[in-house]
Amino acid sequence: MARNLGTAALIFAALVVQMTVINRMGFSVTPDLVLLVVIALATLRGETAGAVIGFLAGLAADLTPPTDHVLGQYALVMCLTGYLAGRWAARVPMLAVAACAVGAPALAVGVGSLLGDPGVDWSTFVAIWPGTALCNLLAAPIVVWAVRALFRPARSRDVLIMGRRRP
């Protein structure tokens, strides 16, 4: 229960920082902090939790003004990204983080074009995606480190019982 409340608080804080600080910095491309937090949480908690966390974080991002896209677009993108990050994290954790951080903006453009978003076109994708992917890739290790530090699993002390170690 406390872990879920901590996750919700972290997503809320990331959303507030994204909307009030990062999006207003004046740069043409910025990292997507909410997406990176979803990826980091998915690598810790697995694919099912990653998909649920991604869906809820994406839905919160969809409902946060200003909205100029189809409702549910970010929910779908972050749900898929959270699932993939959680799925790949057991085998190749940092590669999963990098692939999801770079691939999610492209997935967002693909979903936007499928849903008929008028702000999505090929020229915008070619102009913005490399910078956004690079920003996400550079910010990902910092965000993953911070999330892992916050949600580090408690270490259990091993107990020696009848000559065998038991957790």
CB-CB contact of 156 with 56 (8 Å): no
What integer pLDDT is reported at residue 120 of this predicted model? 79
> What's the angle, vertex CA 31, arms to CA 25 and CA 35, rounded to 5?
130
What integer pLDDT is reported at residue 164 of this predicted model? 54
What are the extents of the domains in the chain? 2-19+29-152
- Report domain 2-19+29-152's class: mainly alpha
Looking at residue 16, what DSSP letter applies? H
What integer pLDDT is reported at residue 155 of this predicted model? 60
What integer pLDDT is reported at residue 99 of this predicted model? 94
What integer pLDDT is reported at residue 33 of this predicted model? 94
Residue 5 and residue 3: Cα distance in Å, rounded?
5
What integer pLDDT is reported at residue 122 of this predicted model? 81
Report helix, strand or coil for 47: helix
Query: pLDDT means per 10 residues in the chain (167 residues)?
Result: 86 94 86 95 94 96 84 93 94 91 90 83 84 93 94 62 53
CB-CB contact of 11 with 60 (8 Å): yes
